[in-house]
Structure 1
Amino acid sequence: MAKIEILLPAMGEGITEATITQFLKKEGDFVEEEESILEIATDKVDSEIPAPQSGKIAKFLFKEGEVAQVGDVIAILATEGEDVPETVMEETTKTEEPIAIKIDIPLPSTPASSTSQLTSKTENGTFISPLVRTIAQKENISAEVLNQITGSGEGNRITKKDILQYIENTKQGSTENIQEDPIVKKTIPAPQVGITSYTGDNVEIIEMDRMRKLIAQYMLKSKQVSPHVTSFVDVDVTALVQWRNKVKEDFLKKENQKLTFTPIFVEAVAKALKDYPMVNVSVDGDKIIRKKFINVGIATALPSGNLIVPVIKDADEKNLIGITKKVNDLANRARTNKLQPDEIQGSTFTITNLGAFGSTTGTPIINQPEVAILAVGAIKKKPAVIETPQGDTIGIRNIMVLSLSYDHRVVDGALGGMFLKRVAEYLENFDITRSI
């Protein structure tokens, strides 16, 4: 008998699990080598898992919506036309219910016993899975508190959904999935908050999809983590616009690539980050982590209305042609759901183009764990004062607004302002004689 175990592959640094979102084949189907058999989703991107060789799908070991860890056996492929006995399937273990988001929310202090003493069962005999114990230890939830959580799984087992719901309820001051316990109730007071519920024929209730839920969590977390400050600057990009209009047709013929403004913005930001490396940092507790590499994320709108941030790795080491090819490739594959997981992580700074939708400016939210994000507004023709040796005149210029949101824990107004001004200088002083 020949059988092949199909494993959940490694998908990049820091990615340890994925949700099984959809089966593209059924058990018993014959598949060709490299034919996609199921879809998975990490917290930012969807991917397809292909068959490693031709054969018959004997068994799927996970259900749609469940979460697998990297290295888990997710399916069994039988070759040479043979089936794999059911007993073989039962030997392969799997994880339990899905956890789509890693939530990092500080909890109020718990009783004195150490979370390191968590075992596989609570004091009342309820089973605690390794994943639930890991979450509890990370969030500093003690065994005593776990003992008070009413599990929704079989035999009152505490599931991942239960512990995440507890964390969310704690954040909101609610204890609705906690058993009656005067000590727990005293440590988690419930605030008086009015909630309006809309029902009836004159409203439409739309369930958030997986990606929108994640975006909502990330945006909320960023606002909770980073004290945001936003600075603005007007930039005269007339020379840049004239240069692009002059070379874009030749660029398309020579490189088979459309030359947009985005690669030029990436180039300017990469140069400015080298000039001001303390903007190219992240925060870890009371430590500042300065990155010696420059990876620029490009916020990209998807046809679904959601947002994804593909990353230009080592942007400072690429010329304008290289940046252009990478920007176009990532943007195209983002819109067709073809990005790989490691292509949407590891950014050290993000650019978002508000001008693509006609907005002149905005106050973007920082893409954690970065400490700054640049929003690029629409380029508009405006009357402006032009300084010349012969005196000032009024002329029609191409003006855009750059807005920089930054984390005031580590980026003060002086540093944020100097960095923003340097980006503007690189754009305003663009060499109109530059060749391609």
Structure 2
Amino acid sequence: SRRRAPHQPGRFLSPLVLSIAREEGVSMSALEYLPGTGKENRVTKKDILDYVAAGKPSLVPQAPVAAQPAPLEPEPVPAKAAPAAIAAPAPAPAPAPTASNQAPAAKPAPSVSGGQELIEMDRMRKMIAQRMVDSVRIAPHVTSFVEADVTELVNWRNKHKDAYKKREGENLTFTPLFIQAVARAIQDFPNINVSVDGDYIIKKKDINIGIAVALPSGNLIVPVIHKADQLNLNGLSKKVNDLANRARTNKLTPADLEGGTYTLSNVGSFGNLMGTPIIMQPQVAIMAVGAIKKKPAVIETPQGDLIGVRQFMFLSHSYDHRVVDGSLGGMFVRKVADYLEQFDPNTTI
């Protein structure tokens, strides 16, 4: 028989697992007790599909039941001449289905008028929608903004990108440079690298940075670079390119999507200057990096101030105000900007 998992009220359930549960009519109480084979006993896609294939056996422990009297034998129908017999008690009606054991009723499709098209969300879009709604409901979002002068960073990339492409056969993008700065800032401010479980804060040892990747379908997926702080720029560049390519060709594995502790979203790739990203639960912060633009700026020199053309970008840092206050959230994004502005032009890759 299937071994019961210990009760884990409020255990983390991925949007994919929740989506399958809704479609297959698996109750939340069953999910609480379903054995998980994933990291930290999390329920995986295979776990819930195996449970459904097994006929959804009962997993919730039953409350102790008081001893019941032996069932009464059915009373024979009395003859007309016999005295009236006491009727046996009618059997109790079957309990009505409850919200916990009843599959959610499908909502009827909305009606549309002429000239409109009705498109049902695919499974991934439903998952994204539910995840975003849950995050806004769970976490009070605050966003801090910093503008960074990344002129040295841009010049360095322009100097090395062609040789890197020739040597590695891959593009040298800005994303690994941003990830490196974020990972270093997390080392300086480890209380950003946490999650929340009820009244407890869980501090993460590993720095696992998710990168938001737009898919050809218009959907979004967030593969994870595990232990990003332990990779050099070349390692980060290869990892970013590999995950992005496999995401767009639908070749990511479940392990590629698990364990993220912080997320980076490059809205600049769409020409956006800044954004207010929504936190990936159960993380507590996320950063959006905007497009790099040339701007006139005051340059301080020993001979006095000058006006010059510099390369600037905005960093937008959204954080969960339950556990990250404005001081920590603001200092963190400022530190990321400092690492980008102070990039060493002699860095090798």
Q: Cα gap change, 1:124/1:269 in structure 2, threshold over 3 Å: closer, same or farther? A: farther
Which residue of structure 1 aligns with residue 103 of structure 2? 160
Q: Does 1:306 align with 2:275?
A: no
Aligned-pair RMSD on alpha carbons?
A: 3.0
Which residue of structure 2 aligns with residue 72 of structure 1? 50
Query: Deviation of residue 71 (structure 1)?
Result: 8.4
Query: Deviation of residue 378 (structure 1)?
Result: 0.4
Q: Distance in 2 between matches of 1:301 and 1:149?
A: 39
Partner amino acid for 1:261?
Answer: F
Which residue of structure 2 aligns with residue 94 of structure 1? 54
Partner amino acid for 1:125?
Answer: A
Partner amino acid for 1:95?
Answer: G
Q: Does 1:125 align with 2:71?
A: no
Which residue of structure 1 aligns with residue 171 of structure 2? 258
What's the secondary structure of 2:161's corresponding residue?
A: helix
Q: Distance in 1 between matches of 2:64 and 2:254?
A: 33
Check the 8 A contact 1:295/1:315 in 2, yes or no.
yes
Partner amino acid for 2:231?
Answer: K
Q: Identify the match of residue 276 of structure 2 among 358, 363, 383.
A: 363
Q: Cα gap change, 1:289/1:116 in structure 2, threshold over 3 Å: closer, same or farther? A: farther
- Superposition map of 1:200-219 within 5 A: 200-219=113-132
Q: Distance in 2 between matches of 1:160 and 1:398?
A: 55
Check the 8 A contact 1:68/1:94 in 2, yes or no.
no
Partner amino acid for 2:103?
Answer: K
What's the secondary structure of 1:304's corresponding residue?
A: coil
Q: Identify the match of residue 393 of structure 1 among 306, 328, 338.
A: 306
- Superposition map of 1:288-303 within 5 A: 288-303=201-216
Q: Does 1:199 align with 2:199?
A: no
Q: Cα gap change, 1:250/1:200 in structure 2, threshold over 3 Å: closer, same or farther? A: same
Q: Cα gap change, 1:150/1:364 in structure 2, threshold over 3 Å: closer, same or farther? A: closer
What's the secondary structure of 1:200's corresponding residue?
A: coil
Check the 8 A contact 1:364/1:405 in 2, yes or no.
yes
Which residue of structure 2 aligns with residue 415 of structure 1? 328
Q: Distance in 2 between matches of 1:245 and 1:68?
A: 45
What's the secondary structure of 2:339's corresponding residue?
A: helix
Query: Deviation of residue 161 (structure 1)?
Result: 3.0
Q: Cα gap change, 1:69/1:95 in structure 2, threshold over 3 Å: closer, same or farther? A: farther
Partner amino acid for 1:117?
Answer: A
Q: Identify the match of residue 381 of structure 1 among 294, 308, 312.
A: 294
Which is higher, the Rg of structure 1 or of structure 2?
A: 2
Which residue of structure 2 aligns with residue 281 of structure 1? 194
Q: Distance in 2 between matches of 1:232 and 1:265?
A: 15
Partner amino acid for 1:201?
Answer: G
Check the 8 A contact 1:19/1:68 in 2, yes or no.
no
Which residue of structure 2 aligns with residue 335 of structure 1? 248
Check the 8 A contact 1:68/1:95 in 2, yes or no.
no
Which residue of structure 1 aligns with residue 80 of structure 2? none
1:101-159 superposed Cα distances (whole Å, 9 cap, x missing partner)? xxxxxxxxxxxxx996399xxx7435xxxxxxxxxxxxxxxxxxxx46489xxxxxx54
Q: Identify the match of residue 185 of structure 2 among 261, 264, 272.
A: 272
Check the 8 A contact 1:377/1:402 in 2, yes or no.
yes
Q: Cα gap change, 1:396/1:198 in structure 2, threshold over 3 Å: closer, same or farther? A: farther
Where structure 2 has 5 or more consecutive residues not aligned to the other structure, the ranges are 1-11, 22-44, 66-91
Query: Deviation of residue 199 (structure 1)?
Result: 2.1
Partner amino acid for 2:193?
Answer: N
Q: Does 1:424 align with 2:329?
A: no
Structure having the larger proportion of residues in strand? 1
Which residue of structure 2 aligns with residue 244 of structure 1? 157
Check the 8 A contact 1:69/1:95 in 2, yes or no.
no
Query: Deviation of residue 94 (structure 1)?
Result: 2.6
Q: Identify the match of residue 402 of structure 1 among 315, 329, 332.
A: 315
Q: Cα gap change, 1:73/1:362 in structure 2, threshold over 3 Å: closer, same or farther? A: closer
1:271-293 superposed Cα distances (whole Å, 9 cap, x missing partner)? 00000000000111111111011
Q: Distance in 1 between matches of 2:335 and 2:260?
A: 20
TM-score normalised by length of structure 1: 0.60
Q: Distance in 2 between matches of 1:244 and 1:124?
A: 74
Partner amino acid for 2:348?
Answer: S
Partner amino acid for 2:54?
Answer: K
Q: Cα gap change, 1:304/1:428 in structure 2, threshold over 3 Å: closer, same or farther? A: same
Query: Deviation of residue 212 (structure 1)?
Result: 0.6
Q: Distance in 2 between matches of 1:323 and 1:124?
A: 63
Check the 8 A contact 1:353/1:376 in 2, yes or no.
yes
1:394-424 superposed Cα distances (whole Å, 9 cap, x missing partner)? 1111100000000011111110111001100
Identical-residue share of aligned pairs (%): 56
Q: Distance in 1 between matches of 2:152 and 2:64?
A: 64
Q: Distance in 1 between matches of 2:103 and 2:112?
A: 30
Partner amino acid for 1:160?
Answer: A
Which residue of structure 1 aligns with residue 257 of structure 2? 344
Partner amino acid for 2:63?
Answer: Q
Query: Deviation of residue 383 (structure 1)?
Result: 0.8
How many pairs were matched up? 283
